[in-house]
Amino acid sequence: MEQKKIPTVRRPGDLYLQFTRTSTKELELRLLHGATREEKIFYRKLLNLKLQLEQEKVIGELLL
């Protein structure tokens, strides 16, 4: 089984910044075009988190 190289996170905030800069539309596209089941699960979870955070902004109530 070929192992993919995981990019290193240079600073602790890099991953968070990348997540916050990714749109829900981009996450939807990545989910639809995921190569493996695991990849689709990963993007579905990120999309759900993104939607929850957007919902918090609209409602004005912390959900997490």
Tens digit of pLDDT per residue, the chain (64 long)?
A: 566 665 565 676 788 899 999 999 999 999 999 999 999 999 999 999 999 999 988 888 776 6
pTM, rounded to two decimals: 0.72
* Furthest C-alpha separation in the chain: 46
CA atoms within 13 A on the CB side of 26: 7
Structural domain spans, the chain: 24-59
